[in-house]
Chain A
Amino acid sequence: MLLFYLSLIDTDESKDKITKIYESYLDWMLKIAFHYLQDERDAEDAVNDVFLSIINNGCSVPDGDEDRVKSYLYICIKHSSLKISRSKCKGKTISFDSLFNVSSKFDIEDELLKKDRFEAMLRAIDTLPSIYRDVLTMYIVFEKSLKEIADLTGVSYKTVATRFRRGRAILKERLGDIDI
């Protein structure tokens, strides 16, 4: 199967990247997708979609440590799984609550009392709905354009732009001088 992936890729560098992902993360990706979908076949669909979207985006997987690569793949798989779940569950309840929940526990005054900005920022991000946080992570950490994020996650361009805007607005509201 790897040969088929490689046949789609032009450069040696890109081939190395997709080879590494395939060899190191295939089972891990399946497990993440299974966690969200609780169905092996659906999980396989989600992973398949992620591989194709990565290839179609020039294999632009981040360099660096495993944590960064995993974070990148994780966001792609999570949203690919959500898309599959939505398509299968039209009209039913989808158990992706954690993606949309907005925690009401955040208290800006309490946070300002904490002198550690890192902790304050972490708390603010912690309360940010996951759908917004993921777009911000792809944009800020992995330097993806909104269109690339849309392609990689299977979410429409306009939705990505809206999530980016709202996520940024929430963070600005909670952290004030944040520069995004």
Chain B
Amino acid sequence: MSTELLEKCLIKKTLAEIREIEALDYSCIKASDDFKERIHKTIITEKDAKKKHHPRKAAIIIVAAIILSLSIMFTASAKIRDSVSKLIVEIHETFSELFVKSDGNEEFPGSIEKIYQPKYINYNGFVEIDRLQSEIGMFTVWTNGSEIIDLSQSLVGSHLQYDAENITYMSADLGDIEVLYYLKNNTYTVVWTDHGYIFSMTCDESLGWAEIEKIVTSLELVE
């Protein structure tokens, strides 16, 4: 199936939805002067917020840096653990939640100060197509043209939320890493902890468990 054909079909379907709505009588709906005035104010507010955003962000980073520096000074001998012992799953009515249960004695990074990526993925025909980094997480997407893999690196304090419908979590040992995973809609979701962070990977079932193990166990620090 060609991409061109697919494009045509997607547009055709979207236009069909549009035509259905256009056929309805919404002739009374027009942009009012009040609406125009409100947009005017919204945009001014947006502009002001953008101007103020950078100094505030800088202040937060500075404070965070001070806190981190102090914690490093006072806990210099406390080694950040390479793996976290317990991933907890809570199943709610409409979603499930994964988080790390800590005994309070462990030290974990308070921000994404180091980025870990699977070394193996680069030798497996996958190319990075998207990346998003924030103070609380790192999200990367790869594809080899037919399959897609995404990996998130989150802080240990994060609570990851997933679907809960018809899902059974299972655990497995991949090398010396214990993972929790589930399979739904031909997609594996695999969650584990390593290097003081929580990692969550989703990939097509067709990738195969052996490949997943190689990816999970090949995390290395990105310079």
Residues of chain A at the chain B interface (Cβ within 8 Å):
1, 4-5, 8, 26-27, 30-32, 34-35, 40, 43-44, 48, 51-52, 67-68, 70-71, 74-75, 117-118, 121-122, 125-126, 130, 133-134, 136-137, 140-141, 145-147, 157-158, 161-162, 164-166, 168-170, 173, 175, 177-180
Contact = CB atoms under 8 A, between A and B. Distances in A.
B148 A122 contact: no
B186 interface: yes
B170 interface: no
A141 B1 contact: no
B14 A30 contact: no
Interface residues of B, number: 49
User: Top 3 A-B pairs ranked by shortest CB distance?
Assistant: A31-B26, A1-B36, A71-B14
Contact of A52 (B9, B46, B150, B185): B46
Nearest to A176: B1
Main secondary structure of the interface of B (DSSP, over half): helix
B29 A30 contact: yes
B8 interface: yes
A52 B1 contact: no
Contacts of A35: 21, 24, 26
B18 A34 contact: no
A175 B8 CA distance: 15
Main secondary structure of the interface of A (DSSP, over half): helix
Contacts of A71: 11, 14-15, 18
B132 A157 contact: yes
21 contacts: A27-B31, A31-B21, A52-B42, A70-B15, A71-B11, A71-B18, A74-B18, A125-B10, A133-B10, A136-B10, A137-B14, A141-B10, A145-B129, A161-B139, A162-B202, A165-B148, A165-B204, A169-B185, A169-B187, A170-B185, A180-B6
Contact of A137 (B3, B10, B132, B145): B10
B29 A118 contact: no
Contacts of B35: 30, 44
A166 to B, nearest CB: 6
Interface of B: 1-3, 5-15, 17-18, 21-22, 24, 26, 29-31, 35-40, 42-44, 46-47, 129-130, 132, 139, 141, 145-146, 148, 150, 152, 185-187, 202, 204
Given A71-B18, A126-B13, A27 B30 contact: yes
Contacts of A140: 3, 6-7, 10
B1 A175 contact: yes
B13 A4 contact: no
Given A27-B30, A31-B26, A125-B10, A117 B43 contact: no
A165 B10 contact: no
Given A48-B42, A51-B39, A168-B148, A118 B5 contact: yes
Given A121-B6, A140-B3, A179-B3, A166 B139 contact: no
A32 B21 contact: yes
A147 B152 contact: no
A179 B5 CA distance: 11
